[in-house]
Structure 1
Amino acid sequence: MEVAQDTLPELQPIFTFLNSHQNKLYQEGYFLKLHDLDSRGRPSGDRTWNECFAQLVGTVLSVWDAAAFDAAGEDGEVVPTFINLSDASLRMVIESLPMDSQGGGNLQNVLSISTAGNNRYLLHFNSLNSLTQWTAGIRLAMFEHATLQEAYTGSLIAGKGRMLNNIGVIMERTKFKTEDWARVRFGAGTPWRRCWCVITPPDEKEYQKLQKTLKKRPIYDRSTPVPTGDIKFYETRKVTKKTRPIATINDAYSAYAIYPQSKPLIDQSTLVKLEGSITIHSSPPSTTEGFIFVMPEVHPAVTGFEMMLRWLLPVFDSFALYGRPNRLIADSLDQRGLMFAMPKEKRYGYLEIFDVSSLIHTNGSQTWSERQWRKELKKLTASRMTTEDSPQALLLLHLANRFMGLHDVLTLLL
């Protein structure tokens, strides 16, 4: 990705960080891999364990067959298979996992990865340490991918939003339902469906009641639950009280635009990812934590970027995300903001593999939801930012860059 000179200054840093993330090596090494379930959730046709060499670069896992490596020799070329982990879910199996129903035996230190559709892969490692390192690498890659997309969304609003003639109207607090057609994917790898999307903001009386309550509280006391709305998806535009929705989202913890992988496509892209609690109104209904992709349909003479904002801001307001329905939080130190952990003069990312490994071995982490993982990783990032950006740490870095001796550095600090 080349950052052109005519790129808006608000977007230049995020393009650099997105490029770095896509080329960052998080982990590499050998393990045994089994393709457990196919995209339809059925047992895979080839259920054999194969030794593989793999590299995790960005959120893409490149896997080479180890036997093919040996057969090809030094000058041979082996084509890898690629697994996109940006939307994956992980589960560590430390104790034991049955190898198969016939041969018996158990495996320890297995990582279960569910990806697009209902695909599931099992990765077996030779030690708990190796399992932990790989799990931490994947979690870190997924976390940095998500937070970079949030920062991209914030940079996009700051850089291009101000150029819209009606940006003031778009940024106003949503008080009424927002209804329009959109194409929706209920999970990675699932087909797109054209749905009538209804975004309902919090009840206005509840909102005003909350505002009066907050005025009487200390400025830092925000313990009162914030009223939220919901999003419903229908097959038809003619919605009545008896119309049954396809799906409902009553709770969301993140919503952001997805970078379309090419800068010329930014103006027309409407792709948004929403993460939270999703109820599918099947028989019987099922509620799970997950994500959906939404592409609001574009109106004549309206750019995709503007349509995306018209859809995204009401979503922010409905679930009180990123400082809305008041002002969007611009502070990069605030965990609630779109621009959280956005550095000014350094590489992106404050966490290392060992930081995430320590979280993995925290009591209770095996049962954490993806929402809880995001929260804990942001909390740990905030802690690292405080340490790295403290006056003492910055002074130490400045002096080290000027090749001063350790004795001189300590003398000045003390």
Structure 2
Amino acid sequence: MPASSTPPFNPADPLGVDDLLSPEDLAVRDTVRGWAADRVLPHVAGWYERGELPGVRELARELGAMGALGMSLSGYGCAGASAVQYGLACLELEAADSGIRSLVSVQGSLAMYAIRRFGSEEQKRHWLPRMATGEVIGCFGLTEPDHGSDPAGMRTYAKRDGADWVLTGRKMWITNGSVAGVAVVWARTDEGIRGFVVPTDAPGFSAPEISHKWSLRASVTSELVLDDVRLPADAVLPEAAGLGGPLNCLTHARYGIVWGAMGAARSSFEAALEYARTREQFGRPIGGFQLTQAKLADMAVELHKGVLLAHHLGVRMDAGTLRPEQVSFGKLNNVREAIAICRTARTILGANGISLEYPVMRHATNLESVLTYEGTVEMHQLVLGKALTGLDAFRG
């Protein structure tokens, strides 16, 4: 290639990943980035400090108007965007805050995806159009107080009573729970594990909010209490039987995390880079010292490798060739590296790194939750270990 045609080095995109994106991809990214800059970034430090997400229903409607809710689903008012475009949206939302990306992920990749993939035609028509606009917020009830990594041990139980179902049990750490209009709840039955579409105004359903969190503070997190909740026969998801249903949903949601974690990492890296250019010690900017440059170089390498990995998985998802083990690969690597980037960024900012005037500590604490939800490090290591060796070590 002639030297004159070589594009200049771009510190914001050192590998030229933007060249892999279509004009439509870039438009989605820029739209979501602009919305987050206007509606989230000016306020999120205060939300985080107070442990609240005010106006969540209004935010949901705005996200729905952008097509960000269930955006990779087709039909029923959903945007039908590509997996890559959905990933880019997750990256931009989490660059603002993990809590905002979680709102979107749980709505689209868990609650809406479960209904779209496993629901009846009546369930899809009744719920999905209103969820796509943000008129109805959804949540996803799988994790229980005593059963996280081993959902097969769940105690929530659904029994038949004539033509009805009666649900009893508790779910824990449920994003969107107390603001949801519909919950997708997984329960044991005499026929195995089944999924149920539960209107949250059903008698016996309650969702007390969980407080005293030091992570995902700008997010609604709740317990779900099901006290003999009576549902009609058609509340069951007809196409989901066994653990395959909820695990399929989790794979879809984990894919968004692969991208989202890089958003938190990018925000922290950019804060550290700008600080290194302007903060002076010993008579010059600290970015001019070798040790600081080594930190910035290592952070940039892991950040953009992670974005490349996310894009690769998105291309595979769009092609219909993405495997759950590959999603585990991405979730394990990108969240772990994102936390490392945040911690290194904090060292560059010094004492300022713990201040909410900068996003670094907020992202770092949020990512501690992202590291463990939808599959802990250990679970994804075992998924990959089994895929590599052919030997199942989950119960060994």
Fold conserved (TM > 0.5)? Answer: no
- Larger strand percent: 1
Q: Which has the larger radius of gyration?
A: 1
Q: Which has the higher contact order (CA 8 A, sep 6+)?
A: 2
Judging by fraction of residues, say which structure has more helix. Answer: 2
TM-score (norm 2): 0.30
